[in-house]
Amino acid sequence: MLNVRIDLAAFRHNLNAVKALAPNAAILPVIKADGYGHGMILLAREALKCGAPMLGVGVLEEGRALRRDKIASPALLLDGIFPEEAAEAVKYRLTPVVFSLEVAKELNRIGKKEGKKIAVHLKFDTGMSRLGFTLNEATEAVALIAKMKNLSVEGIMTHLASSGDPQSPQTDHQLRRFEMVLELVKKTGLKPLYIHTANSAAILHYKYAHHNMVRPGIALYGAPPSETKGVEFKPVMTVASRLISVKEISQGEGIGYNATYVTPRKKKVGVVLGGYADGVNRLLSNRGVFLVHGKPVPIIGNVCMDMVMVDLSRVPSAAPGDEVILLGGGTDETSAQHWADLTGTIPYEIFCRLGVGPRVQRVYK
C-alpha cells in the first residue's frame, strides 16, 4: 500500500506562479490522466477556487467523471472525440477540441437538432504532426466550419513539440505557422474567445506564445520540464510507505530475485512495501534511493512486484513499521526528476504511474 500525499498548498503556489508568468492570460489547468496521478477531482475544485475559467482533460470519460462529481465548469476535451461520442459530449456540456470535419459536422448536426450552438476549440497542427488540421487542410476546414451555424468556435489552438528546449528552432517555426492560422481565422470573420498554444515550458520560455490562455500541466505538479529562470515550483506529490520487515543479513548473501546484489559484509536490510506493480520502476533496482528517518537508503537487489529491499546500514535504529519516503521529501535523490533520469523517462510518466491503482491511498493536505 503506497501512501500518496498531495500538498494542495503547493498546487496553489504553482498555479499562482504560472499566473505571475502569464498575467494577461486565462489559465486552463491540465488535469488529464487523473491529474497526472495526483487526483483529478480535488485538483479540479482547487483550480476552480483559484479562478480557472475552464479545465483541461483528455478524453470524454474524464469529462464525464467531472460531471459525476458535480463539477459543472467548462471543460476542454484535449484529445478530441470520435463522431459517435459527439452526442454525449454535448449532453455533458463538454467542449471538444476539433480537428476533423467529420466531428465538426456531427456536432453541428446535433446543435441544429437541439436548437443551440455547440462550443468547440479548433486545433491546428503547426509541426508536431499529432492532432490538428495541417496547414494544407486549414483554409478549407476554417471556411467550412465558419459556415456551420450551430458551432461556436470558442478557441483556436496548437500544441508545441519542443518548447522545453529553448535552443530548438522548432517553437518559433510552429508559432510563425500559428500566426498564419490566426490570419486565416480572422479573415473568415470568426472571433474566438480564446487563443492558446502554451504548455508549461512555453509559459516559461515563450511569452509571445501566451496569447490569452495558457495550458499548464506539469508545472502545476511542481516538476517543470526545463530551466525555470528563478521561478520556484513546489513538488505536490510525496509518496510514502513503510518497512514491513527489518533483518540482519550475513556477509555473502544474495538479495532478492537473481541475487543481483550480494552483501559485502553483514548488513541491516529493510523490506519496503511497494514494488513495480505500484509504479516503482524495476530499472531502479540497485540504483534508486529512498529515505528512512530522513536519511538516504539505497535500493539493493531487484525491485519486486510488491516490495523493494533497502540497505539500512546508515539507519541503525530503523524498525518494522517505520515510514519510508519513496518520492519527494525534499532531496534531489528522491525527486521525480532523479527517478526519471535513472529510468530513462520524464517526471510526467513517474507521476502517472505512481499515483494510481487500487493499492494507492491518496491523502490531501
Ligand X SMILES: *Cc1c(COP(=O)(O)O)cnc(C)c1O
Residue from the set 14, 199, 335, 343 that interacts with ligand X by CB under 6 A: 199
The residue assigned the cell 470520435 is 82
**Toward ligand X, which CB reaches closer, 175 or 284?**
175
Kindly state whether residue 96 participates in binding ligand X, applying the rule CB under 6 A: no
Kindly state whether residue 205 participates in binding ligand X, applying the rule CB under 6 A: no
Q: Taking a C-beta distance cutoff of 8 angstroms, is the pair 201, 209 a contact?
A: no
Q: What is the 3-state secondary structure (H, E, C) of 207-246?
A: HHHCCCEECCCHHHHCCCCCCCCCCCCCCCEEEEEEEEEE
User: Is 257 a catalytic site residue?
Assistant: yes
What H or E segment, with its residue span, contains residue 184?
helix 170-187
Q: Which stretch binds ligand X (CB under 6 A): 7-15, 81-89, 133-141, 209-217?
A: 209-217
Nearest-angstrom CA–CA distance, 133 and 140: 10
Q: Which stretch binds ligand X (CB under 6 A): 40-48, 213-221, 238-246, 355-363?
A: 213-221
Burial status of residue 232 (CB atoms within 10 A of its CB: 0-12, 13-18, 19 or more): exposed
Positions in 126-145 near ligand X (CB under 6 A): none
Question: How many binding residues for ligand X (CB under 6 A)?
Answer: 12
Kindly state whether residue 78 participates in binding ligand X, applying the rule CB under 6 A: yes
| Shortest CB 357 distance to ligand X, Å | 21
Residue from the set 218, 236, 303, 304 that interacts with ligand X by CB under 6 A: 218
Nearest-angstrom CA–CA distance, 228 and 272: 34
Residue from the set 200, 281, 285, 343 that interacts with ligand X by CB under 6 A: 200
Residue from the set 22, 30, 31, 47 that interacts with ligand X by CB under 6 A: 30
Nearest-angstrom CA–CA distance, 32 and 55: 9
Closest Cα partner for 338 from 291, 301, 269, 271?
Answer: 291
**Toward ligand X, which CB reaches closer, 78 or 271?**
78
Kindly state whether residue 334 participates in binding ligand X, applying the rule CB under 6 A: no
Q: Which stretch binds ligand X (CB under 6 A): 17-25, 112-120, 216-224, 331-339?
A: 216-224
Kindly state whether residue 175 participates in binding ligand X, applying the rule CB under 6 A: no
Kindly state whether residue 159 participates in binding ligand X, applying the rule CB under 6 A: yes
| Shortest CB 74 distance to ligand X, Å | 16
Helix (H, G, I), strand (E, B) or coil at 155: strand
Active-site position among 191, 257, 266, 295: 257
Kindly state whether residue 242 participates in binding ligand X, applying the rule CB under 6 A: no
Closest Cα partner for 314 from 284, 332, 333, 292?
Answer: 292
Kindly state whether residue 285 participates in binding ligand X, applying the rule CB under 6 A: no
| Shortest CB 310 distance to ligand X, Å | 31
Nearest-angstrom CA–CA distance, 289 and 330: 13
User: Is 70 a catalytic site residue?
Assistant: no
Ramachandran angles phi, psi of 335, nearest 5°: -85, 160
**Toward ligand X, which CB reaches closer, 58 or 256?**
58
Closest Cα partner for 108 from 120, 94, 97, 99?
Answer: 120
Report the residue count for the chain: 365
Q: Hey, which residues are catalytic here?
A: 32, 257
Residues engaged in binding ligand X (CB under 6 A): 30, 32, 78, 159, 199-200, 215-219, 225
